[in-house]
Amino acid sequence: MLVKLLRNGIGGVWQVGDFITRPSKMRRSESGQAEVDAACGELALYQLPRCPFCIKVRRNMHKLNLPIEKRNVTPGSPYREELAAGGGRVKSPCLRITEQGEVRWMYESNDIIAYLTERFGHIK
């Protein structure tokens, strides 16, 4: 209970700080952004709005100009059940990656950021 209160309190401060200091989006050519938009259609971020690690991932997504669907996994959410069934556990952030018909679940914020940067950071 105390951890949840701390996470929500600190997360709220981080949320405001992120909004105020958000970096500018990466600029791409129209064709480059269209390629990124299409590829992002196969990704979904399972997240909690005030989770500091989720904020870190969303900040990176904004910086890389990635329109990845965000799915809130608060208790009672159907996405929470989907995450538990597909990924095997309820932990956020989690990136659902669909490649060639196969689904992968990536849980660690640093791993998610590294994956997104490697996959999309070079597309101009």
Domain tally for the chain?
A: 1
Judge whether residue 70 has pLDDT over 80.
yes
Judge whether residue 26 has pLDDT over 80.
yes
Q: pLDDT band for position 21 (50/70/90)?
A: confident
**pTM of the shown model:** 0.84
Domain that holds residue 82: 2-120
pLDDT, position 45: 98
pLDDT, position 69: 97
Give the CATH number of the domain where residue 21 resides.
3.40.30.10
Judge whether residue 105 has pLDDT over 80.
yes
Residues in the chain: 124
